[in-house]
């Protein structure tokens, strides 16, 4: 290892003597001076392109999507109860309700299980069990959403249909359950990081006062890791909102508001599923096309706010323990 | 029961006193903690601990079993439909279902997408980490990249359709899919590369600069080699993510029932889309074939992830 490094360092030094003799004296002062080299310019250019891509995506979605406001009307678009492209009606309330429903079900199911699992994994489990659990969770995270959708469609949907005796198992409950499985790895791994970031001196102090291990976890470790755990839940929430293929295949896709609105056993149509199903049919430039972009803006904004909040919470959390 | 009640009543008085006069603090608090604990102690703390630990462990077991069940179902159902013909042949007179074109299509797709995103993302990461001097602009850029990483893939899909396919007039094609997927994995590549660059100790840079190397030479011959394991982990994970991605390529050129490669500007097949279109439209008699396709896709993605984990472990060992 160390031999390799000395070799690689030697090589450029000779090169630099041949290449730019005039600047070799100055190069020692490089750190302070930040001389502009062609490499820097190229890197800057590439970094610039990356930034432009980011801006482009934002602007392009905004430009296309904002057209829906004059065409449909802001209130009618966001809170309109009827989505029917043939009748020129573009209200996405049913989509918002659908998204909220599946995401809430997913979080209610996934949050307790995931947090318990990560507490076990980081505080209680012996090393060798942790060594099996952690990669398992990572494996679960890597399975493509289309495969989850496939499982949902042919395993979960029939099961839900059978258990509740429904005419169809494609409903908000199935969508929520499959989403729950998908967000478990996100919550587990971020919570695990948060719990492990709590300094061990906290635990030692509590144990030294005579508290049991569980009392230490419950009264010391968890309160200390709370903001990190919150961030885990927030980021998982953002992921669940943006999930497309699984909910497209499993949630049913009915363009109507469930009656009553908390009935989880009826088909729903989350926002992402609306885009995935209808973009192929929409003609460029017509209202439906713009309405789908409007949905994209809504998704973009929700995930933007959610991720920003999550990041800020995590940043505050890491700052808290930097001194400790 | 009466025992706990007896202990309970004086304690509440103490608590009230504590609230009234806050000057009596420390000794009280210890007493308070102890008695408070006893009051709640209908069961011994050790027993409570046992109950809760069992609950926590069972949720871990649940998640583990979830993965095992998942893999088992996939293996059992998939093995019924999998065959040499399915993987290595294209559909023709002798073979009803062959996904060779889809496999080649997916490989072409991910190589192109990562090939586009890697130079851009790596350069951006190097610039942001090594050259840029911080400040508001860099913070905004970092935050923007961070947020882009959380944007749903369907949003990239709709952007790719409107921008690359329609506005730039590339049409539904392999190139449009490359560009769309490249946009999607770009933030991930920038982020993971930045993380990898950050883990390279400052001493490495200072040592190289002290030997007279220029900044670029330091980056090229010292920093990048040290960060390579981290960067390649990120790249491999991106490959895996691109291979399984469906929503983002749904509208930018993916199609079924066509040969693997008919030109950069024509449509292409891919494994996830093959699975999707068969799942929603093919007759249920082909269900075993569909499971087999799901199995192949998962094996592919697991392969990428496994190699990423191995690289990471090896690098961690070397560092120690």
Q: What is the CATH number of the domain that holds A119?
A: 1.10.3720.10
Cα gap A220→A126, rounded to integer Å: 20
Cα gap A273→A278, rounded to integer Å: 8
What does the pLDDT average to over A253-273? Answer: 83
Do the beta carbons of residue B41 and residue B79 sit within 8 Å? no
Residue A42 lies in a domain: yes
Eight-class DSSP state of A85: G
Given a cut of 60, is residue A263 above it in pLDDT? Answer: yes
Residues A223 and A264 in one domain: yes
What does the pLDDT average to over B247-256? Answer: 90
Given a cut of 70, is residue A284 above it in pLDDT? Answer: yes
CA torsion angle for B136, B137, B142, B144 (degrees, to 10)? 110
Contact B131 A31 (CB under 8 A): no
Least confident of A87-96, A170-179, B309-318: B309-318
**Cβ contacts of B209 on chain A, cutoff 8 Å:** 28, 30-31
Contact B251 A280 (CB under 8 A): yes
Residue of A60 and A18 predicted with greater confidence: A60
Mutation site, A37, A58, A123, A144, interface B, largest B CB count within 10 A: A144
Given a cut of 50, is residue B2 above it in pLDDT? Answer: no
Helix axes B287-319, B45-81, angle to 10 degrees: 130
Residue A206 lies in a domain: yes
What does the pLDDT average to over B111-122? Answer: 94
What does the pLDDT average to over A159-179? Answer: 92
According to the model, what pLDDT value does residue B117 have?
Answer: 94
Given a cut of 50, is residue B127 above it in pLDDT? Answer: yes
Residues A300 and A163 in one domain: yes
Residues A167 and A47 in one domain: no
Residue A7 lies in a domain: no
According to the model, what pLDDT value does residue A307 have?
Answer: 87
What does the pLDDT average to over A18-23? Answer: 45
b/e map of A200-216 (b: 16 or more CB within 10 Å)? eebbeebeeeebbbbbb
Residues A41 and A174 in one domain: no
Of the three residues A47, A64, A81, the one that is the final residue of a domain is: A64
Mutation site, B57, B65, B134, B152, interface A, largest A CB count within 10 A: B152
Please give the interface size between A and B, counted as residue pairs whose CB atoms are below 8 Å apart. Answer: 291
Q: Report the complex ipTM.
A: 0.83
Residue A14 lies in a domain: no
Pick from A31, A39, A299: which is nearest to B209 by CB?
A: A31
Contacts of B66 (CB under 8 A, 6+ apart): A140, A181, A184
Label residue A1 by pLDDT band (50, 70, 90). Answer: very low
Residues A42 and A151 in one domain: no
Cα gap A320→A322, rounded to integer Å: 6
Given a cut of 50, is residue A19 above it in pLDDT? Answer: no
According to the model, what pLDDT value does residue B231 have?
Answer: 92
Contact B123 A46 (CB under 8 A): yes
Contacts of B216 (CB under 8 A, 6+ apart): A37, A39, A40
Residue A74 lies in a domain: no
Residues A203 and A318 in one domain: yes
Eight-class DSSP state of A281: T
Least confident of A211-225, B56-70, B83-97, B215-229: B83-97
Residue A308 lies in a domain: yes
Label residue B131 by pLDDT band (50, 70, 90). Answer: confident
According to the model, what pLDDT value does residue A56 have?
Answer: 87
Mutation site, B134, B146, B151, B311, interface A, largest A CB count within 10 A: B151
Range of the domain at A129: 94-322
Contacts of B298 (CB under 8 A, 6+ apart): A143, A144, A147, B74
According to the model, what pLDDT value does residue B320 have?
Answer: 57
Given a cut of 80, is residue B40 above it in pLDDT? Answer: no
Eight-class DSSP state of A57: H
Residue of A196 and A324 predicted with greater confidence: A196
What is the nearest CA distance from B1 to chain A, expressed in angstroms? 23
Strand partners, A89: A84
Sign of CA dihedral B37, B40, B46, B52: negative
Residues A53 and A100 in one domain: no
| B187-232 per-position pLDDT tens digit | 999 999 999 999 999 999 999 999 999 888 999 999 999 999 899 9
Cα gap B254→A189, rounded to integer Å: 33
Residue A269 lies in a domain: yes
The overall average pLDDT reported for chain B is: 84
What does the pLDDT average to over B300-306? Answer: 91
Residue B164 in tokens: 């690359």
Contact A53 B183 (CB under 8 A): yes
Contact B120 A144 (CB under 8 A): no
Do the beta carbons of residue B153 and residue A247 sit within 8 Å? no
Do the beta carbons of residue B274 and residue B293 sit within 8 Å? yes
**Cβ contacts of A55 on chain B, cutoff 8 Å:** 144
Detail the DSSP E strand segments found in chain A: 83-84, 89-90
What is the nearest CA distance from B125 to chain A, expressed in angstroms? 7
Strand partners, A268: A252
Residues A149 and A43 in one domain: no
b/e map of A113-148 (b: 16 or more CB within 10 Å)? bbbbbbbbbbbbbeeebbeebbebbbbbbbbbbbbb
Contact A120 B57 (CB under 8 A): yes
Residues A49 and A132 in one domain: no
Contacts of A68 (CB under 8 A, 6+ apart): A77, A90, A287, A290, A291, A293, A294
Residue of B134 and B115 predicted with greater confidence: B115
Q: Nearest residue on chain A to B132, judged by CA atoms?
A: A44
Given a cut of 60, is residue A164 above it in pLDDT? Answer: yes
Mutation site, A4, A146, A187, A241, interface B, largest B CB count within 10 A: A146
Eight-class DSSP state of B91: S
| B280-290 per-position pLDDT tens digit | 888 888 888 89
- Count the domains in chain A: 2
**pTM higher than 0.90, yes or no?**
no
Contacts of B79 (CB under 8 A, 6+ apart): B292, B295
With CA atoms as reference, report the closest residue to A139 among B11, B3, B302: B302
What does the pLDDT average to over B255-263? Answer: 80
Contact A44 B152 (CB under 8 A): no
Least confident of A136-150, B104-118, B135-149, B151-165: B135-149
Residue A316 lies in a domain: yes
What does the pLDDT average to over B77-99? Answer: 80
Give how far Cα B246 sits from Cα of A148, A281, B184, B241, Å: 12, 18, 12, 10
According to the model, what pLDDT value does residue A2 have?
Answer: 42
B85-319 fold: MetI-like fold (1.10.3720)
Given a cut of 50, is residue B9 above it in pLDDT? Answer: no
**Cβ contacts of B144 on chain A, cutoff 8 Å:** 51, 54-55
Cα gap B192→B182, rounded to integer Å: 15
Residues A121 and A60 in one domain: no
What is the nearest CA distance from B264 to chain A, expressed in angstroms? 21
According to the model, what pLDDT value does residue A322 have?
Answer: 66
Residues A221 and A143 in one domain: yes
Residues A171 and A279 in one domain: yes
Least confident of A87-101, A179-193, B12-26: B12-26
Contacts of A21 (CB under 8 A, 6+ apart): none
Pick from A30, A47, A238: which is nearest to B150 by CB?
A: A238
What does the pLDDT average to over B167-171? Answer: 89
């Amino acid at each position: 290892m160390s031999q390799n490094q000395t070799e690689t360092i030697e090589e450029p030094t000779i090169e630099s003597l041949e290449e730019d003799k005039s600047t070799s004296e100055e190069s020692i002062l490089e750190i302070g001076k930040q001389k502009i080299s062609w490499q820097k310019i190229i890197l800057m250019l590439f970094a610039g392109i990356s930034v432009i891509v980011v801006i482009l995506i934002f602007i392009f979605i905004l430009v296309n999507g904002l057209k829906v406001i004059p065409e449909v009307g802001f209130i009618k678009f966001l809170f309109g109860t009827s989505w029917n492209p043939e009748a020129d009606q573009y209200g996405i309330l049913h989509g918002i309700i659908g998204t909220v429903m599946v995401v809430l079900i997913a979080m209610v199911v996934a949050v307790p299980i995931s947090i318990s699992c990560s507490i076990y994994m980081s505080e209680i489990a012996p090393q060798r069990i942790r060594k099996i659990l952690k990669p398992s969770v990572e494996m679960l995270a890597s399975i493509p959403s289309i495969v989850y959708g496939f499982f949902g469609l042919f395993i979960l949907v029939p099961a839900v249909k059978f258990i509740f005796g429904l005419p169809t198992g494609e409903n908000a409950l199935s969508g929520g359950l499959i989403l729950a499985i998908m967000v478990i790895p996100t919550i587990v791994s971020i919570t695990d990081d948060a719990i492990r970031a709590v300094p061990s001196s906290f635990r030692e102090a509590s144990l030294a006062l005579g508290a049991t291990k569980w009392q230490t976890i419950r009264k010391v470790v968890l309160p200390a890791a709370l903001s990190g755990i919150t961030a885990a839940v927030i980021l998982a929430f953002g992921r669940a909102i943006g999930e497309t293929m699984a909910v497209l295949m499993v949630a049913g896709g009915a363009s109507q508001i469930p009656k009553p609105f908390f009935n989880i056993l009826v088909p729903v149509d989350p926002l992402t599923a609306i885009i995935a199903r209808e973009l192929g049919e929409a003609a460029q430039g017509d209202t439906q096309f713009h309405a789908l972009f409007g949905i994209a803006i809504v998704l973009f904004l929700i995930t933007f706010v959610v991720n920003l909040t999550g990041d800020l919470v995590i940043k505050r959390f890491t700052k808290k323990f930097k001194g400790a | 029961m009466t025992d706990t009640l007896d202990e309970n009543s004086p304690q509440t008085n103490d608590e009230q006193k504590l609230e009234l006069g806050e000057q009596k603090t420390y000794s009280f608090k210890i007493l308070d903690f102890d008695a408070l604990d006893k009051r709640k102690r209908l069961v011994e703390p050790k027993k409570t601990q046992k109950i809760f630990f069992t609950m926590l462990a069972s949720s871990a077991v649940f998640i583990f079993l979830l993965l095992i069940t998942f893999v088992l179902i996939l293996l059992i159902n998939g093995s019924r439909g999998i065959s040499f013909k399915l993987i290595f042949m294209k559909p023709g007179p002798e073979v009803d279902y062959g996904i060779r074109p889809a496999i080649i299509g997916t490989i072409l797709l991910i190589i192109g997408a990562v090939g586009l995103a890697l130079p851009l993302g790596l350069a951006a990461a190097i610039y942001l980490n090594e050259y840029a001097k911080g400040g508001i602009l860099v913070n905004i850029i970092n935050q923007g990249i961070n947020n882009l990483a959380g944007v749903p893939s369907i949003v990239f899909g709709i952007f790719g359709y409107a921008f690359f396919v329609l506005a730039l007039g590339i049409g539904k094609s392999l190139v449009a899919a490359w560009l769309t997927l490249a946009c999607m994995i770009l933030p991930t590549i920038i982020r993971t590369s930045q993380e990898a660059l950050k883990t390279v100790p400052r001493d490495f840079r200072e040592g190289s600069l002290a030997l007279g190397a220029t900044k670029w030479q330091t980056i090229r011959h010292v920093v990048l080699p040290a960060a390579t394991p981290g960067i390649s982990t990120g790249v491999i994970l991106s490959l895996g993510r691109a291979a399984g991605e469906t929503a983002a390529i749904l509208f930018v050129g993916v199609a079924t029932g066509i040969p693997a490669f008919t030109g950069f500007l024509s449509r292409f097949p891919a494994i996830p889309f093959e699975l999707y279109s068969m799942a929603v439209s093919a007759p249920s008699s082909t269900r075993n074939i569909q499971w087999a396709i799901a199995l192949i896709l998962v094996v592919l993605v697991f392969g990428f992830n496994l190699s990423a984990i191995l690289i990471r472990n090896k690098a961690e060992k070397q560092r120690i």
